[in-house]
Amino acid sequence: MKDKIKIAQLQTPVCDDKEKNLETLGEYLNKVSSSKPDLVTAGEMFCCPYDNSCFPKYAEPEGAAAWQRLSAYAREFGVYLQAGTVPERDEQGRIYNTAYVFDPRGRQIAKHRKVHLFDIDVEGGQSFRESDTLTAGDQITVFDTEFCRIGLCICFDCRFPEMARIASLEGAQLFLVPAAFNMTTGPAHWELMFRSRAVDDQMFVVGTSDARDMNASYHAWGHSMIVDPWGTVISEMDENPDARVTEIDLAQVDRIRRQLPLLSARRDDLYTLRRK
């Protein structure tokens, strides 16, 4: 295993032209290529406006044109590409919020379908129902690289601490979260959530958002960030389009887990619901 890994976060703008969004991702990949990142991440629905009316229109099956473009980018730039998320249509016509991962040869090595759909109604704030058009996934996703084992979830999934906990117990040292918090939940919980997951599970957490567009129907919070296993924010963008490369030292995970043995000190014999 290699201790150092360079992570590029692409906080791209999203428009209503799928092809343009895919081209923009390629342009941002080119921007960071001189820094030689090992792993590149993007935001939730980076190629599709975050709107229920758009998900069915933009959806493609696995292996179709958008998938092929993403695979080609990973191969062209020689990176692990966690390509944000895209709307995926299966053979039965169901639509998922899906995150693909490609290795530096362009091969798909992981896939996560959003498990917890974003159905909220905050008084005086955001209201949204992904379940009006999307189907929930049913897997917790962890995959291997020569750097470390990596966990993956999508936005609202990260609010459920069991997702990150299981990934960490299965050996993940790094947790990727393509996301699109909004102007209600972003200021309140974005940083808090990522720092909580990082501290509780003693791993690096990488939250990558789309850029904010106040002319769009959905206003993303932005502020893509990386938090280390001690809970320190080591990289954070603002709301604008940006691309940033951050090198992390995975040895910090083992060091913190050894010094503060939260995971090994767990009492599984007690963590069950007591029924009357």
Rounded to whole angstroms, how far apart are CA atoms 189 and 227? 14
Q: Which of 47, 48, 155, 158 is catalytic?
A: 155
Query: Would you give the end-to-end CA distance of the chain in angstroms?
Result: 48
User: Residue with structure tokens 């084992």?
Assistant: 149
Q: Which residues pair with 207 in a beta bridge?
A: 177, 225
What are the tokens at 202? 């003693």
Picking from 195, 191, 192, the residue whose alpha carbon sits closest to that of residue 209 is: 191
Q: Which of 47, 54, 114, 158 is catalytic?
A: 114
Active site residue 155: yes
The C-alpha angle 217, 219, 225, rounded to 5 degrees, equals: 150
Active site residue 146: no
Rounded to whole angstroms, how far apart are CA atoms 251 and 247? 12
What are the tokens at 9? 């976060």
Active site residue 36: no
For 10, the 3-state DSSP assignment is strand
**Contact yes or no for 101/108 (Cβ under 8 A):** yes
How many residues make up the chain in this entry? 276
Rounded to whole angstroms, how far apart are CA atoms 220 and 206? 17
For 258, the 3-state DSSP assignment is helix
* CB atoms closer than 10 angstroms to residue 26: 15
Rounded to whole angstroms, how far apart are CA atoms 8 and 28? 10
Active-site annotation, residues: 44, 114, 155
